[in-house]
Amino acid sequence: MNRRGFLRTAGTGLIGAGLGSLVVPRWSLAAPPSEQVVMGHIGVGGMGSGHVGWFLGSPQVRVIAICDVDEGHLNSNLQKVRNHYKNTEASGYRDFRQVLDRTDIDAISTATPDHWRAMIVTHAFMAGKDVYAEKPLAHNYLEAQAMLRLGTRYKRVYQLGTQIHAGDNYHRVVELVRSGILGKIHTLRVWSSGGAGVIGPTPNAQVPPNFDYDFWLGPAPWRPYDPGHTHFRFRYFLDFSCGHYADFWCHISDVGFWAADIKTTPKTITARGALQKQGIADAPRTIDVDLEFPDGLKYFWTSSTPQTPENCGWGMACTFYGTEGALTCNYGERAIFLGGQRLRDIESVPKTVPRSPGHHVNFLQCVKSRALTESNLPYVVNMTTPMFFGRISLVLGGRTLHWDESKKQFTGDDEANRLLGRVYRQPWALPA
C-alpha cells in the first residue's frame, strides 16, 4: 500500500498533548516515512510560524512547503524547516496555489488574515488537502457556509485552531454541565473585559520591498498600505472573531456551545456597542450581543465583566445558569454554585468525555482515520455563526434581527441579508 492509501485507511495511535502556546506539545514516537502526514504551511507570520514549529516537532509529520507573501517570514521559516531536517528538501512559495498544486502534500496549515481564510480553505478542499486553520473561521456567514459545503463534498478533515478545546478543564466543564447537577440550562453568559484597540492610519507609509502587498490584499478591496493593518494581531478586515476577540468569541464561546450542546442557530440577535472610529478595520471596538435560540435558551455576550455574583472576578469567562445552580469557568478554572456553596468539582459526576491527545495530535489522528476532529467544521460553523450575526446587528445600528434557518436568511431585512457575504476584488471568486 502506498503512503496515500495508508493515510486514507490507517487507524490512530498517536499520543501527546498540545494547546498552542498554552502547553508545549509532547509528540509520539517517530513514524516510518510511508506513514507520515506531508504538510505545507500557508501564512507563517505570528501564529503561522507557531504552526510550523508545532508540526515540525512531530515525527508523524514531514513539512515540505512554506508559503508567505512576506519574504522575511517565508525565508526564516523555510530555513527553520531545512535546519530541522538537515537538508534542503523544503520549498518556498509566494502564491498559495503552488502549494495546493503539489500532489505530494496531504494537508496544510494556514494562519492568514481572515479576508483570505475561506478562499484558501475552500481551494485546499478542492485540491484534496486536509486543513488545520487558525482563527477566525472566516470573514462572514456565506464564506463559512461555502467551507462547510465544500468540506463535506470533498470529504476533507478540518480542525479550527481553538487549542484550548483540548484542555482538561473544558472537558470537565462539559461533563459537569451535561450531568444535570445544574438542572435545565436556561441562560449562558460569556464575557471578555476590554475592547479592541483603535487601529489608526499611518500617513504615507511605504510598502516594504520584500512584501507583496497586492497579493496580501487578494480578494479584499484595495486600500493604501498601512503597516498596522498587516500585523498578525490586527488583520485587515478584523471580523470580531479575530484579533482581540479571538479569545473571547472563539475560545470562551467554544465551551458554552460545547457544554450546552447547542446545535441550532439563534432566532433573534440584538447587538450594542461601538464601531472603530479610525482606520479601515470593521471589527467592533466594543460589542454586547443578546441571542435567543429556538428552544428558549438565552445567550449573552459582553465585552465587560458582568456585575453578577457568579463572575468570580475573572476578566474572561463563561457562566451557565440552570434551574438548580450555576457554573462559571475560564481556561483553567471553574466554580460551581450549588446549594449556597461554591465548589470546584462534584466527585460523584463521572468522567464521560474522552480526553484529548492534544489539538494538533488530534488533527493528525483524524487525517489518518478520516474521523471528525475535536473542532470540526460542522461544529465550528455553528459556533461561529452567531458572531457574524452579532456584527451585522451592530453595523445596522443595533436593530434586532430575526433569522429563518429554513431559508438561511433574515426575515424581512434585505439590508442585513446583503451583509451575510461580501464582494471580492477581481479576479478572486469563492468556489460555489
| pLDDT tens sequence across 176-232 | 999 999 999 999 999 988 655 555 566 678 999 999 999 999 999 988 887 766 653
138 and 200 assigned to the same domain:
no
- Cα 58 versus chain centre, distance: 22
| Residue 253 within a domain | yes
Q: For a pLDDT cut of 90, what percent of the chain falls above it? A: 75
105 and 226 assigned to the same domain:
no
Q: Supply the CATH number for residue 98's domain.
A: 3.40.50.720
143 and 44 assigned to the same domain:
yes
Residue in 285, 303, 272, 115 with CA at minimum distance from that of residue 198: 285
236 and 110 assigned to the same domain:
no
Q: How many structural domains does the chain have?
A: 2
220 and 273 assigned to the same domain:
yes
Out of 24-33, 330-339, 390-399, 414-423, which region has the weakest mean confidence (pLDDT)?
24-33
pLDDT band at 369 (very low <50, low <70, confident <90, very high): very high
200 and 137 assigned to the same domain:
no
420, three cell numbers:
451575510
pLDDT band at 58 (very low <50, low <70, confident <90, very high): very high
Peptide bond into 354 cis (omega under 30): no
240 and 193 assigned to the same domain:
yes
Taken in order 176, 179, 180, 185, the sign of the CA dihedral is positive
| Residue 182 within a domain | yes
133 and 69 assigned to the same domain:
yes
| Residue 93 within a domain | yes
Q: Does 152 have pLDDT greater than 80?
A: yes
| Residue 268 within a domain | yes
| Residue 108 within a domain | yes
Average pLDDT, the chain: 87
- What would the pLDDT profile of 99-138 be if each residue is shown by its tens digit? 999 999 999 999 998 899 999 999 999 999 999 999 889 9
19 and 61 assigned to the same domain:
yes
378 and 388 assigned to the same domain:
no
Taken in order 137, 142, 145, 149, the sign of the CA dihedral is negative
329, three cell numbers:
469557568
Cα(394)–Cα(283) distance, integer angstroms: 10
pTM score, whole prediction: 0.89
Span 348-365, average pLDDT:
97
Q: Which residues pair with 422 in a beta bridge?
A: none
Q: Supply the CATH number for residue 342's domain.
A: 3.30.360.10
| Residue 114 within a domain | yes
- What would the pLDDT profile of 24-35 be if each residue is shown by its tens digit? 455 556 677 678
183 and 248 assigned to the same domain:
yes
84 and 96 assigned to the same domain:
yes
| Residue 425 within a domain | no
Range of the domain at 198: 169-352+384-418
| Residue 427 within a domain | no
What is the predicted pLDDT for the residue at 192?
A: 86
- What would the pLDDT profile of 6-27 be if each residue is shown by its tens digit? 333 333 322 222 333 344 455 5
What is the predicted pLDDT for the residue at 404?
A: 98
- What would the pLDDT profile of 293-306 be if each residue is shown by its tens digit? 999 999 999 988 99
